[in-house]
Amino acid sequence: MATEDWFLTARERGNPTSHLPASTSGNQAEPLIHGAAYFDRLVTEVESLRAGDHLFFTDWRGDPDQRMRPDGPTVSELFCRAAQRGVVVKGLIWRSHLDRLQYSEEENRSLSEAVSAAGGEVLLDQRVRRGGSHHQKLVVLRHPNEPERDIAFAGGIDLCHSRRDDADHRGDPQAVAMSPRYGDRPPWHDVQLAVRGPVVGALDTVFRERWTDPMPLDSENPMAYLRDRLRGADLRADPLPAQPPDPPPCGPHHIQVLRTYPAVRPRYSFAPDGERTVARGYTKAIHRARKLIYLEDQYLWSTEVADLFAAALRANPELHLVAVVPRYPDVDGRLALPPNMVGREQALALCERAAPERVHVFDVENRSGDPVYVHAKVCVVDDVWASVGSDNFNRRSWTHDSELSCAVLDDTADDRAPTDPSGLGDGARRFARELRLRLWREHLDRAADGSEDDDLLDPQEAVRAIAAGAAALQAWHDGGELGPRPPGRLRPHQPERLRWLTRVWAVPVYRLVYDPDGRPWHARRSGSW
């Protein structure tokens, strides 16, 4: 396996201004499936930090009262106690829109003020395009005197309400308001990566580039700047301690850090034309797909993204696309719901026209039949290349908001047959295959120890198995739920079809507001990333 066949080269990244390496080797990546597992690990790692260690984080939403374990600590308690011990605590949280618009302005501000009062520094960051957000979810923990202990967490899980769920999917007792179809305690499916090795240094650089960028924090909203000045908010980043050397190699994983930054004015100092390595990284990997693309995604919108999958399906007659998405959007209402629905409808229709028998889309429910909200952003290609991150498969995430993902290639071959599913000589890789299998075991109610994996290894057999399981559960529901409930939690996704009159207004609202384009004009004109 040649990493350059899958990973972007430094030239292909297209952002020579950044100090981020093209990729790193010698890492150890571990998927933490569900918020409960991530939060528990994060508490353990943060509580081990000592005076002089570093805790850097970025987040889309941070709820200070969110309990990390059933009996605490809360996010605020965890970070404040670290700052009080002398840990260097620095954070960048999206400034956010107003709470009355179902965003998190007050929550993010409260976390910022609490940690800052304890001796840390957390800034509200609005250096985005109009209508955009900082969507990265990153925690970097450095031990300058013990670099082998360095660890970072990156993926789809925010430090906020609704995220602390587990494999039973009963939901987080501290829940955010969502569509009533998900109930008062929405079940939540998500994934985060824990990484060790030199990649921690790269993720440290991601944070430092944003922290030291000279653009004013409230550059997108002058009124917000005035309100912050009146409230005495911290609007200037203090210097960071010197960046420690990269941690030593510790594992078999090559990791490429992929990002999205939009083209903005004034320009980012570290990405003057923006950065679209998320889009470019996915494009390169999907061009190499031959047998199976597996996705878990919150949205799966955008014809531009769907075109990539459709082209791959047309070019490779044995390629299957399997996607797991939420059953319903997270919002409801006559104005908010249709634009959320129409984007996925367009994308799925485009893929299905390319290969109607090879596109398989499912949603998830718990064992009680309650729909599970899929917030994960995962992609596995031919059991070789895998990515976990904050970006969704839509134009907004690939061009407009700030995003962060980690793509992983494993030096360790998986010796279970088929050993080379794609037939390109890359061989199945342990990390990518095991990530897919861990997710499918849960979705199909298979044994967690892998003893029931026989029909899930070969891509063709695996697609038949997952489709058959979903069809059986759907038939049980359609038949009045008589007899024992079939194993599994997947059902075929059956999106509602919008009336043509609704589509007339929903399509332009979706394109302009929900899924905007953050590319510079030359990239828009050429249709490139």
Residues 240 and 301 both lie in one domain? no
233 and 285: one domain?
no
Residue 526: inside a domain: no
Average pLDDT over residues 16-35: 98
Nearest CA among 207, 266, 271, 264 for reference residue 240: 207
CB 246 within 8 A of CB 21: no
Within 8 A by CB and 6+ apart from 293, the residues are 286, 309, 312, 319, 320, 321, 322, 379, 380, 381, 382
Share of the chain above pLDDT 70, in %: 95
**Secondary structure of 430-481 in HEC code, one letter for each residue:** HHHHHHHHHHHHHHHCCCCCCCCCHHHCCHHHHHHHHHHHHHHHHHHHHCCC
Q: Residue 504: inside a domain, yes or no?
A: yes
User: Does the residue 257 lie in any domain?
Assistant: no
Classify 137 in phi/psi space as left (phi over 0), alpha (psi -120 to 50) or beta.
Answer: beta
Contact 233/190 with Cβ under 8 angstroms? no
Residue 65 and residue 174 in contact, taking contact as beta carbons nearer than 8 Å: yes
Predicted local confidence at residue 322, as pLDDT:
98
Average pLDDT over residues 259-279: 96
Q: Residue 196: which pLDDT band, with cuts at 50, 70 and 90?
A: very high
Look-up: residue for tokens 């981020």? 20
Q: Does 241 lie in the same domain as 169? A: yes
Q: For residue 99, name the pLDDT band (cuts at 50, 70, 90).
A: very low
- Per-residue pLDDT for 223 more than 90? no
Same domain, 298 and 244: no
Give the list of residues 6+ apart from residue 19 with CB closer than 8 angstroms, or none. 205, 209, 270
pLDDT at site 434: 98
Residue 229 confidence (pLDDT): 63
Which CATH number belongs to the domain containing residue 290 in this structure?
A: 3.30.870.10
Residue 432 CA to residue 410 CA, distance in Å, equals 8
Indicate if 296 and 223 belong to the same structural domain: no
Number of alpha carbons in the 13 Å side-chain half-sphere of residue 344: 23
Please name the residues in contact with 117: beta carbons below 8 A apart, sequence gap of 6 or more: 80
Mean pLDDT (the chain, rounded): 94
CA dist., res. 263 & res. 375, Å (int): 26
pLDDT value at residue 101: 46
- As a whole number of angstroms, the distance between CA 247 and CA 8 comes to 23
- Examine the domain organization and report whether 286 and 236 are in the same domain: no
Q: End of a domain among 251, 285, 300? A: 251
pLDDT at 333: 82
- Number of domains forming the structure of the chain: 2
User: What is the span of the domain harbouring residue 507?
Assistant: 275-514
Q: What gap in Å lies between CA 156 and CA 191, rounded to an integer?
A: 6
Cβ distance 199 to 147 under 8 Å?
A: no
SS3 at position 152: strand
Task: Give residue 97's pLDDT.
Answer: 53
Q: What is the pLDDT of residues 314-328, one digit of tens each?
A: 999 999 999 999 999
Q: How far apart are CA 509 and CA 504, in angstroms?
A: 9
pLDDT digits (tens, 9 = 90+) for 374-420: 999 999 999 999 999 999 999 999 999 999 999 999 999 999 999 99
CA atoms of 358 and 343, how far apart (whole Å) = 20
Please indicate, yes or no, whether residues 345 and 428 belong to a single structural domain of this protein: yes
Q: Are residues 293 and 240 in the same domain?
A: no
Is residue 333 domain-resident?
A: yes
DSSP 267: P
CA 408 to chain centre: 14
- Is the pLDDT at 102 greater than 90, yes or no? no
Report pLDDT for 383.
98
Per-residue model confidence (pLDDT) at position 109: 87
Same domain, 491 and 435: yes
Assigned domain for 485 exists: yes
Classified as helix, coil or strand, 45 is helix
User: Do 199 and 162 share a domain, yes or no?
Assistant: yes
Residue type, 444: L
